[in-house]
Amino acid sequence: MMRGSLTSAGLFAGIGGIELGLERVGFSASLLCELDSAAQVVLRGRFPDVPIHSDVRALKKIPKVDVLSAGFPCQDLSQAGRTAGIRGTQSGLIDEVFRLVSNRATSPRWLLLENVSFMLRLNRGAAMEYVTSRLEQLGFRWAYRVLDSRAFGVPQRRQRVILLASRDDDPRPVLFNADVGEPARDPELATTFGFYWTEGLRGVGWAIDAVPTLKGGSTIGIPSPPAIWHVNDGRIVTPDVRDAERLQGFPADWTAEVGLDRKSAARRWKLVGNAVTVGVSEWIGNSILAGESGIYTDGASLHVGDTWPDAAWGEQGERRRVQVSAFPTDLPHPRLADFLEHVGSPLSARATAGFLSRARASTLHFREGFLTALDDHFERVTAQAQLAL
């Protein structure tokens, strides 16, 4: 492939995380499809010359492109969502992707799919079985790998399944071309820890010098940004949405400067939490451009009913595991405390009290000093609220 003449199209495009990453390495989007009206506002502002369609079900055909991407809805596959499975009303829209690529005349050279890593475990991996089987029926060779956003220069622990498929090319050198392994991170040297304040009974999404996965919101539409404990001064805050955009690899105010109300943080959090980290798609684009130069090692055969691994490939009924980590690279990124450019908002007294109640009722073990810091934070924000009366 030659830079400058590369084309892409994006289904379920969100706010353009995949498109921005591909654009940075020379791809030009020729079509975008997104149902959410707020996300459409962002796309029109950031990709003003690209036609935008609102409903994939009404899309009759796609242009012939080098890469067709589809970060298809995860609500039915997410651990935090409805877990209805691949046949759910939202995640089942993957069938529209298969409909569009079934026309070989306009079939893309590469099909790029993205979704939550929980799909590998939900219902014994039924979603991945369905997706890969349909791809093979359509004549595609496929490969997938779980990738962690921390590998691409941002302090956000976010693991997503990236699947690449092609009728004519081998996706294995693209996805498995490098593996540096997860870098060691010493918790004793960390000055910040991210966690989910909405949890506390079974887990808290604990992240060392990083935030856990940014989410679009709860099942009832309430934004739920993670909290950050600053060890040195005891502050416990939720990050500013502009820093959340940067944690996804976007420039700050990516969702604000194109018409969305700057004060509409809840709306913007949903858009940012549902996005694809820009650095991930940028790495994929570069890997595609590198051609067949990758090195990979096949693992054991993968049979129907087996537990799905974090990386695998398949074609014409043959499937194999691949032993690679979620870190094909480890771009240097600043520590979370240095990365954040905005102060953030103190975790509210109500949220703190709720988390503490759940945490103390659980059997979880917490880092020494964490619950004490939460107690101190609760007293501080409660006193500040009383003074404001």
pLDDT digits (tens, 9 = 90+) for 353-388: 999 999 999 999 999 999 999 999 999 999 988 887
299 pLDDT band (50/70/90 cuts)? Answer: confident
Pairwise pLDDT comparison (78 vs 215), residue with the higher score: 215
**Residue at 358: amino acid letter:** R
Output the pLDDT for position 76.
47
* Whole-number pLDDT of residue 134: 95
CB atoms within 10 A of CB 370: 17
Average pLDDT value for the chain:
89
- Secondary structure percentages of the chain, helix, strand, coil, to 5: 30, 20, 50
Instruction: Say whether pLDDT at 219 is over 70.
Output: no
Give the relative orientation of helices 349-361 and 370-388 as an angle to the nearest 10 degrees. Answer: 150
| 177-194 pLDDT tens trace | 999 999 888 888 899 999
In the predicted model, is pLDDT for residue 152 greater than 90?
yes
Candidate list 33, 50, 74, 236, residue with the active-site label: 74
- The C-alpha atoms of residue 8 and residue 11 are separated, in whole angstroms, by 10
Q: Assess contact for 342 and 243: CB atoms under 8 A.
A: yes
Would you mind telling me the total number of residues written for the chain in this entry? 389
**Amino acid letter for position 5:** S
Place of tokens 């199209």: 9
Share of the chain above pLDDT 90, in %: 72
Which residue stretches of 79-226 are H helix? 94-101, 126-137, 172-175
Please confirm, yes or no, whether 74 is among the known catalytic residues.
yes
**pLDDT recorded at residue 388:** 75
Reported as type and span, the H/E element at residue 30 is: strand 27-33
- The 3-state DSSP class for residue 2 equals coil
Domains and CATH numbers, the chain: 6-182+276-322 (3.40.50.150), 192-248+334-388 (no CATH)
The DSSP result for 286-338, as a single string, is HHHHT-S-----EEEE--TTSPP-SEEEEETTEEEEE---S-S--B----HHH
Please state, in angstroms and rounded to a whole number, the distance separating the CA atoms of residues 321 and 141.
Answer: 14
Distance of CA 303 to the CA centre of its chain: 28
Q: What is the mean pLDDT of residues 54-74?
A: 90
